[in-house]
Amino acid sequence: MLGCSVIEIMPSNGRLPAELIEAGYRSSQYGLVVFVLNNVTPQAINLVLDPVVRTMPLSIPGVLYIEIGDEQRVRDAITSASIVYFASNALYNLAASYGVSPALVYSDLPPQPNDTAELPAIHRQVPPPETVDWRRHSFHHVFAA
């Protein structure tokens, strides 16, 4: 999984982040994209992606789904990733326990009083999606060390 992009997918207010899911799939044409599923089924992701897949070239490898509870696969993805998108404190704290460098972390999460000791001081807001070059940086991101 070396150099992959990791995106945590979880519902917000009962809805899936369809634009993020679509952007993740579209960016898979540039490299491996891993979706870490947090309270989301692969079938729900597939429903979002079905119309998008039909519009993309057949050469796109697509995305790899990993359940957030699959600690070994999540660890492998995060520790080898070049970009990680955190949508929850659960994945953020897992990354901290795996040794992600605090100097390289970006998150759209507000600081939480129960964050791990390594990362709470480095929370920074990520740029709005419209300012991100989707060909180079596919998501709000964290660069993993």
* Domain residue limits at 72: 5-106
Residue 73 lies in a domain: yes
The CA distances from residue 39 to 75, 87, 88, 135, in Å, are 18, 12, 11, 28
Residue 67 lies in a domain: yes
Backbone angles phi, psi at 66, to 5 degrees: -135, 130
> The CATH number of the domain where 76 resides is what?
3.40.50
Domain count of the chain?
A: 1
Residue 71 lies in a domain: yes
Provide the angle, in degrees to the nearest 10, between the axes of the packed helices 89-97 and 71-80: 70
Query: 111 near 85, Cβ under 8 Å?
Result: no
Q: Say whether 110 sits in a helix, a strand or coil.
A: coil
Q: Give the model's pLDDT for residue 51.
A: 93
The rounded average pLDDT for each run of 10 residues, N- to C-terminus, in the chain (145 residues) is 85 90 91 94 95 88 92 91 83 82 53 45 40 38 38
Q: Give the model's pLDDT for residue 1.
A: 73
Q: What does the DSSP 8-state code read for residue 97?
A: H
Residues in CB range of 76: below 8 A, 6 or more apart? 1
User: Which ranges constitute the DSSP H helices of the chain?
Assistant: 18-27, 42-53, 71-80, 89-97
Q: Say whether 89 sits in a helix, a strand or coil.
A: helix
